[in-house]
Amino acid sequence: MVDNFPLRLLLATFAGWVNRQQAMVIDYLVEENRVLKERLGNKPIPLTDDQRRRLAAKGKPLGRRLLAKFATIVTPDTILRWHRKLVAQHHTYPHNNRVGRPGLMKSIRELIVRMATENAGWGYLRIQGELKKVGHNVARTTIANTLKANGIAPSPNRPTSWKTFLKSHADVIAAADFFTVDVWTKSGLVTHYVLFVIHHATRAVEIAGVTTNPDGNFMARVARNLTDNVDGFLRNMSYLILDNDRLFTAKFCGILEDAGVKVVRTAIRAPNMNAFAERWVQTVKHECLSKLILFGDRHLRRVLSEFADHYHQERPHQSLDNNPIQPQPSNQPNEGEIVADERLGGLLRSYRRVA
């Protein structure tokens, strides 16, 4: 065989050039990693299990010496430890013949916690009985340990939750709150205060008053109207939830208390304690007020009146199985044209079928 010396020389030269190029690329990538690590500071870089797996798979064939030279994110010992852990996991198989009692299912634990939090008066035996009714036979000590692990006290010391209290008294609870609306007048933008009351059980709302000056006289007048024996919105209520706004004066609360309506103040910075009222403010602003430019006090009152009628008579409510609060008598046919009823120039719409 003829020794083709020029060809071997050419191949050797090319291989050397490739090796030099690879070395230059590696040096650049190593330096780039160092720069990025310097930018991150001395904080450890959080890695996912997948990222550790990939680094371990690539790093094991290199060995400790090369890893010490090129690894910049983690140390060689760390990469090799990850590799040993992956090998151990690969050869570890789950055992079906488990020794000892099986662990309590997550769903049952969640059910125990739910029953305890929703029913403050239920002890371990009552919860045990309810679980048995739905097909779960759970020991009393297991229930006790589950509640203790979740920080839930035994029955005598377990307080009634605010949510449970509101639900159990919804028929006799109302909530009140203010919101503000900026209205254009001859003097420019003027802030109006709107006071409303909402009934928890039915979600019915009463616009109690609109004013630019919610002083003591205004609040006293509103309190008398709300507690009127004939048509006062609060005449059949026992509780009224208020926040700690100073506009709810002592005289206002005194008139309510004298009429048999107990005032319940929410905690400071706890809007969820008055969630029904807070939610209604979002509704009226999102669906109506934020889409209008209001001119004058009379315009604001008319808009609020139209929205209140739509809210009670036409708007479906998810909490009421998508029914209106005050459904109107209807003999709608099963077939026929569907028409839209409009309020405020089409801003508020509802649909019905006509023959």
**Per-residue pLDDT tens listing for the chain (355 residues):** 445 545 455 545 545 555 666 677 777 777 777 777 777 766 667 777 777 776 776 666 667 676 666 666 666 677 667 667 766 665 555 555 555 555 557 888 889 988 888 887 788 888 999 999 988 899 888 888 888 888 787 877 776 666 777 777 789 999 999 999 999 999 899 999 999 999 999 999 999 999 999 999 999 999 999 999 999 999 999 999 999 999 999 999 999 999 999 999 988 877 788 889 999 999 999 999 999 999 999 999 999 999 999 999 999 988 888 888 888 766 666 777 888 889 999 999 988 888 7
Confirm if 86 and 53 have CB atoms less than 8 A apart. yes
Residue with token string 């050397």: 16
Query: What is the full DSSP assignment across 90-150?
Result: HT----SS--SPPPPPHHHHHHHHHHHHH-TT--HHHHHHHHHHTT----HHHHHHHHHHT
Predicted TM-score (pTM) of this structure: 0.59
Q: Where are the domains of the chain?
A: 8-87, 106-159, 168-320
- The CATH fold assigned to 168-320 is Nucleotidyltransferase; domain 5 (3.30.420)
